[in-house]
Amino acid sequence: MRKKIISAMLILTCALLLFGCATTMSLSPANAKRIHTVYVNPKVTTPKEMYYMGSGFGFLFGGIGGAVQAAANQSPGERMALFARQHGIYIERIVQDEVIQQLKAKTAFRVTNSKQADATINLKIKTYGLSVPTTFSTGVKPMIDIEANMVDRQNQMIWANSDSVLPLSPGMPEYSTKAIGKNPQLLKKMWEAAAGKSVSNIVESL
């Protein structure tokens, strides 16, 4: 089992390092001067499956009628994603909310709900999930890789940036799956922490 975890963690780390090489584009002074209002596209792209590497968690569905049978043939990532949705926890909403909050706090742009804004920010979650940070860990930590771009009214890309948070990234909360099962809000807290750190690094370039 330990060899399997080590192999999976190496693959994950390499993949996220490659994702970190995604397209980046600085916002030019001319574009920055003409962009006053920004619309954050609520259609956040997510991967088909959440990543999960850790211990089993069949007990997560103990209190949800029919969920055990429904999740029987799903991968660990799919089962954890189902658990999150059944408790109203959506990674796309977490990332979108974090982007809006940090745009308001760290930039001069005015965030608007109008699609007629000077620019639109599109978001893509390339990877997200939970993983043990080391082979000796009893709990899991959050991980996420986010890509963002800004397009003007002519749909021309004028800015792009990305950032990822690994299970070994400092400051990330760690909980056992048993604790998450008892308190699903811990899962939300973990993803908020990872999204917050990643989005902060992305928005810094604006």
Closest alpha carbon to 142 in 178, 100, 180: 180
* Confidence (pLDDT) at 76: 79
What is the per-residue pLDDT for 133?
84
- Upper half-sphere CA count for residue 9 (Cβ side, 13 Å): 20
Q: Which residues of the chain have pLDDT under 70?
A: 1-22, 55-73
What pLDDT score does 57 carry? 56
For residue 105, what pLDDT is reported? 96
96-126 residue pLDDT tens: 999 999 999 999 999 999 999 999 999 999 9
CA distances from 191 to 35, 59, 80, 136, 194 (A): 30, 21, 13, 22, 5
Token digits of residue 176: 């056992």
